[in-house]
Chain A
Amino acid sequence: ETGVTQTPRHLVMGMTNKKSLKCEQHLGHNAMYWYKQSAKKPLELMFVYSLEERVENNSVPSRFSPECPNSSHLFLHLHTLQPEDSALYLCASSQDILAGDEFGTQYFGPGTRLLVL
C-alpha cells in the first residue's frame, strides 16, 4: 500500500452504536489529521497529531475521540453520534513543516463516507 489509506470506505451506524475509523499513512510523515466534510461546507479540521501528540482540537464534540498510537496510524472512535454527524471523514498526513519538506503539504486518504441513522 502506498500513500494514505482509510477503512472502512463506507459506514452506516445507528445513534447508539460504537465504531472506529482507521487511517494509515505510508509516507513517513510525522503529522496526521482528521477532517470532516459535510455537503456544501468547507473542510473542517477536527484533530491534529504531530509526533503522536495532539496539538490542536477545534472544540469537537466528545462523541468523537481520536487515537494516534504511532506516527503511521490514526483512529477516530465514534459513539452516540447524531444524524448531523453524517459526512465524509478525511484523514491526511504531512511532514512537520519545521523539517522543511514541501512546506507541510498534506496528502489525503480516500475518506470514509459516514451515515448516521
Chain B
Amino acid sequence: QKEVEQNSGPLSVPEGAIASLNCTYSDRGSQSFFWYRQYSGKSPELIMFIYSNGDKEDGRFTAQLNKASQYVSLLIRDSQPSDSATYLCAVNNYGQNFVFGPGTRLSVLP
C-alpha cells in the first residue's frame, strides 16, 4: 500500500512567520513530488513540484526533498492570512500512480 502522510493540523502561525509543512511517503520508487493548495470549497491548485534532493525556491515558497529519509516539506516565508488553506502533498511514481496525502490545514493569524 503506497501511502503519503501529513499532519492534519490545524497548523497556526502568526502573520509574517514561517510556516513549515511536512510530508512523508512510503514508496521508495517515488520520483516526483508536488504541493497543492486547496481553499475551502475549491479545487486544488499546484504550488510547486520537485524531483531532485535539496531545496527549490519560488517566491515565498521553498520545497525541500530528502529521498533517503522519504520526506518532502514546504516552507512558506512571510506567511499571510491569504495563505490559510489546506496544503496537499502528492507523490508520483511514473505514469498515473499519483497518490495524495490527507492534507494539512494551515491558519495564518493576523
A43, A102, A107, A111: most-surrounded residue (chain B CB, <10 A): A43
Number of interface residues of B (CB under 8 A): 23
Chain B, Cβ-Cβ closest to A43:
B100
Q: Mark B88-110, 1 if CB is under 8 A from A, else 0.
A: 10101011101111110000000
Sorting the interface of chain A by its residue count into under 10, 10 to 19, 20 to 34 or 35 or more gives 20 to 34
B residues with CB within 8 A of A: 31-32, 34, 41-46, 49, 51, 88, 90, 92, 94-96, 98-103
Q: List 16 extra interface pairs beyond A45-B100, A88-B43, A110-B42, CB under 8 A.
A: A31-B96, A43-B44, A45-B99, A96-B96, A97-B31, A97-B94, A98-B95, A102-B49, A103-B51, A103-B92, A104-B32, A105-B46, A106-B90, A107-B46, A111-B42, A111-B43
Residues of A30-44 contacting chain B, CB below 8 A: 31, 33, 41-43
Contact of A42 among B49, B94, B95, B101 (CB under 8 A): B101
**Contacting pair B88 A56 (CB below 8 A):** no
Contact of B95 among A45, A97, A108, A109 (CB under 8 A): A97
A residues with CB within 8 A of B: 31, 33, 41-43, 45, 48, 50, 55-56, 88, 90, 94, 96-98, 102-111, 113
**Contacting pair B44 A108 (CB below 8 A):** yes
A41, A50, A98, A108: most-surrounded residue (chain B CB, <10 A): A108
Q: Which residues of B contact A97 (CB under 8 A)?
A: 31-32, 92, 94-95
Considering the chains assembled together, what is the distance between the CA atoms of A43 and B102 in angstroms? 7
Determine how close the nearest CB of chain B comes to the CB of A62; give it in whole angstroms: 21
> Mind listing 12 A-B residue pairs with CB under 8 Å?
A43-B44, A45-B100, A56-B96, A88-B43, A94-B96, A96-B96, A104-B94, A105-B46, A106-B46, A110-B43, A111-B43, A113-B41
